[in-house]
Amino acid sequence: MDLIVCSWCQSQNPGGTTSCDVCGAPLDDAVKVSDGGWREAPRLHDMAEFSFGTSTCQVEGDVVPVAELKLGQGDSIYFEHHVLLWKDEAVPITVMNTPGRSLGGMPSVVTVASGPGRVAVSRDAAGEMVVLPMHPSMEIDVREHAFLAASASISYSFVRIKGLANVLHGGNGMYMDRFVTQGGPGLLLLHGNGNVFERLLAPGEKMLLEPGAFLFKDASVQMNTHQLPVKTGLLSRGMYLAEMTGPGRIGIQSMYVHHGSDD
C-alpha cells in the first residue's frame, strides 16, 4: 500500500487517510506557500483526530479551536492552568514544579492532567492550533503563554532571551518556554493568534520579525534585536525588530501582540 508523507510533520500515513495520524494535518490539501516563502500552518479539519502514546487528541472549532484529549492510562499532559476548558471530574490535576517561573513574570501555574480520562484545552483568542510532534532529541522555543499543552514525555523549562537589548527592547519579554525531547517522541500543541505561518531558515539566513509576531523556533535559530534607523516619535528610541538567524524553523502569528517601540 502506498504511504502518504505528511508535509507538516513528515510522518508516514497509510494510503487513503485524509488527515495525519500524528499531527492531524489534512493530507489531501495542497501545501500553501506564499511568494515570500512563508508556508501556512495546516488548517486542521474540524474534528480531526490524531494520536500520541495511548492517547488521542481531537481538534474542534475553527475560530478558537479546542483540543480535546482522551488520555490513556499512564499518559499525562501539562499546560498553563487557566487553559483547561473542561474535564472529567475524575481526572486528577497536579502542579508541575517549575522553579522560578513566577520570578520570570509568568503568572501562570503549569499543571498536569493524568489519564485515564478526558480533558479539553483552549486559549481565549481567535486563532489557529499548531500541532508540533517532536521527535527524540529536539528543542523548540515558544513565545511565552503560547503553548497550549504538551505531553509529559517533553521536558519543560524556560530560557532567558539572550542579549540585554533583546530583553529591554525586543518586546518579547524576558523568557521563552523551552520544550525538549530526550529518548522518546512527544506532542506539543501551540495556539497562534490569527493565522500561523512557518518557514525554514538556511544556515546563516536572516529574517526580521515584528517581535510580537514571533511564535516558535527551533532552538538552533538565534534570536537577537535589530534596531532600525527609524524614529517613531520625538522622544522614542527607535524601532526594534527581532532578527532571526538560521538554521532552523521559525513560526509567526499574524495577529500579534504589538509592543510598541517607544515604551
Partner 1 sequence: MSMLPPPSAAPATAASYTCPYCRLDGDATGTSCTHCGAPVDIRARVSESGWEKQPAIKDMARIQFGQSTCQVSGMYVPAAELRLAQGESVYFSHDSLLWADMQITLGSQSLKGAWTRKKAGLPLVMMEATGPGQLALSDNNAGETIAVPLLPGRSVEVREHRFLMATENVTYDWFQSNIWYRATEGGGGGGIKKKAIGGGLGMLASMVLDTEIEAGGDKNEVTTHYPAGNFLDRFSATDSPGLLLLHGRGNVFTRDLAEGQTICVHAGAFVWKDATVGMGLHLERPKSGGWFVGWQPATPWLRMWGPGRVAVSSAYEPTEGTGRILNTSQASLVDWNQQMPAHLAGIGSVRGAAAAASTHDDKAFEAALDAFATSQGFTAGKDRNLAAVHSHAYSHPGGIEIGCRVVDTAASVAAVSSMTGMLGSRMAGLSGKISAKMESRLGAPTGGEPLEGLGVPATWKQTGDDSAVLAATKNGKVFTVNIKARMSPQDMMGWARAFAAAGLAAMQ
How far is residue 159's CA from residue 140's CA, in Å, rounded to a whole number? Answer: 11
Q: What is the DSSP string of 196-259?
A: EEEEEEPTT-EEEE-GGGEEEEETTSEEEEEEES--SSSS---EEEEEEESSEEEEEESS----
User: Which listed range, 6-14, 19-27, 120-128, 202-210, lies at the site for partner 1 (CB under 8 A)?
Assistant: 120-128
Which residue from 29, 51, 81, 210 is in contact with partner 1, where contact means CB under 8 A?
A: 81
Least Cβ distance, residue 62 to partner 1 (angstroms): 7
Least Cβ distance, residue 150 to partner 1 (angstroms): 12
Grouping H, G, I as helix, E, B as strand and the rest as coil, residue 82 is: helix
**What long-range pairs does 98-107 form, CB within 8 A, spacing at least 24?**
98/156, 98/158, 100/158, 101/158, 104/144, 104/158, 104/160, 104/174, 104/175, 105/173, 105/174, 105/175, 106/144, 106/145, 106/158, 106/175
Interface with partner 1, residue 126, by CB under 8 A: yes
Minimum CB distance to partner 1 smaller for 154 or for 221: 154
Are the beta carbons of 153 and 130 closer than 8 angstroms?
no
Minimum CB distance to partner 1 smaller for 106 or for 190: 106
Interface with partner 1, residue 34, by CB under 8 A: no
Interface with partner 1, residue 66, by CB under 8 A: yes
User: Which listed range, 73-81, 195-203, 208-216, 237-245, lies at the site for partner 1 (CB under 8 A)?
Assistant: 73-81
Grouping H, G, I as helix, E, B as strand and the rest as coil, residue 81 is: helix
Interface with partner 1, residue 54, by CB under 8 A: no
Site string for partner 1, 174-213 (x = CB under 8 A): ----x-x-x-------------------------------
Positions touching partner 1 (CB under 8 A) are: 46-47, 49, 56, 58, 60-66, 68, 70, 74, 76, 78, 81-82, 84-89, 92-103, 105-109, 111-112, 114, 118, 120, 122-126, 152, 155-157, 159, 178, 180, 182
